[in-house]
Amino acid sequence: MVMQVCDLPIPKKIRLAIKNDEIQRTIIKVNGTNIGGEHVAVMAGPCSVESEEQMIQAARAVKDAGAQILRGGAFKPRTLPYSFQGLGEEGLELLALARKETGLPIITEVMSTEDVDLVEGYADILQIGARNMQNFSLLKKVGRASKPVMLKRGMSATFNEWLGCAEYILSEGNPDVILCERGIRTFEQITRNTLDISAAPIIHQISHLPIIIDPSHGTGTRSLVEPMAKAAIAAGADGVMIEVHPNPEEALCDGAQSLSPEEFKYVMNGLKPIIKAVNRRL
């Protein structure tokens, strides 16, 4: 049976982020890795960059297990000002060092317009976090950057609002936008967020942009990362973002949802048959 291509209501005022006669699928190339298309991209690494030792250990571990992109936050959006705020530029330096050691491209968050030039100087992909999804001046600024941007879904954002934010970046001239579903806030309290796996097929029906799913922030709990990562890939996501820390018990941020290197290896091995089953490759 051939399924109808799209039977969802297409937002009328959104022009660039939706599929059109010119673009059916955007594939973003980052240092030899494709995001979108046949490929399944795995982004992994700690929530925050904490030290050289932590970052290098994490980078080696995620590379050994098969991840293609290294994550790590140097500027951290924290609920309270008393929590670890990230190492800032020193963190960016450590990410660059980890890239040099492993060859993995890096993705890191930029939180404010004034830091975009600095972060762009180090990162291979700029991340816009959930809390900044509708920071329109930041979106315009990264829309003028020369690096791909991964836009996380706001925790109470609808698909149309999220695509509207992608439109801000695209309309400034940056064609390389990746969407990232990271869970939305619902009445549920057992999980940190409710991971909306339907984002994968919905975004693929409406938009040409690649969609990554983040089961770490999406659940907040280590034991739920593996099944939700599998579900994400089975539902057609173009990749997953997973938090991995050399010693999760000691993580300065998001330890409860971070995997140890051994756990990450186990998860990667579990993903392989799913990737094959949906006719994709790592």
Least distance in Å: CB of 226 to Mn ion? 17
Kindly list the residues in this chain that would bind Mn ion in the complex (CB under 5 A). Answer: 47, 254
Q: Which is nearer to ligand PEP, 195 or 268 (CB)?
A: 195
SS3 205: helix
> What does DSSP say about strands 33-35 and 28-30: parallel, antiparallel, or unpaired?
antiparallel
Interface pick for ligand PEP out of 192, 217, 230, 245 (rule CB under 6 A): 217
Least distance in Å: CB of 130 to Mn ion? 10
Interface pick for ligand PEP out of 16, 30, 47, 240 (rule CB under 6 A): 47
SS3 52: helix
Interface pick for ligand PEP out of 64, 77, 223, 250 (rule CB under 6 A): 77
110 binds ligand PEP (CB under 6 A): no
CA-based nearest residue to 102, from 113, 110, 114, 94: 94
Q: Which is nearer to Mn ion, 26 or 127 (CB)?
A: 127
SS3 135: coil
How many residues lie near ligand PEP (CB under 6 A)?
A: 9
CA-based nearest residue to 122, from 151, 147, 141, 154: 147
Supply 84's token pair: 């670890």
Q: Which is nearer to ligand PEP, 99 or 152 (CB)?
A: 152
204 binds ligand PEP (CB under 6 A): no
Q: Which is nearer to ligand PEP, 26 or 85 (CB)?
A: 85
242 binds ligand PEP (CB under 6 A): no
Report which residue's Cβ sits closest to ligand PEP. Answer: 129
130 binds ligand PEP (CB under 6 A): yes
245 binds ligand PEP (CB under 6 A): no
129 binds ligand PEP (CB under 6 A): yes
CA-based nearest residue to 223, from 270, 178, 273: 270
CA-based nearest residue to 242, from 24, 25, 40: 40
Interface pick for ligand PEP out of 19, 147, 182, 230 (rule CB under 6 A): 182
139 binds ligand PEP (CB under 6 A): no
Count of CB atoms situated within 10 Å of the CB of 131: 15
Supply 76's token pair: 């951290």
Query: Which positions touch ligand PEP (CB under 6 A)?
Result: 47, 73, 77, 129-131, 152, 182, 217
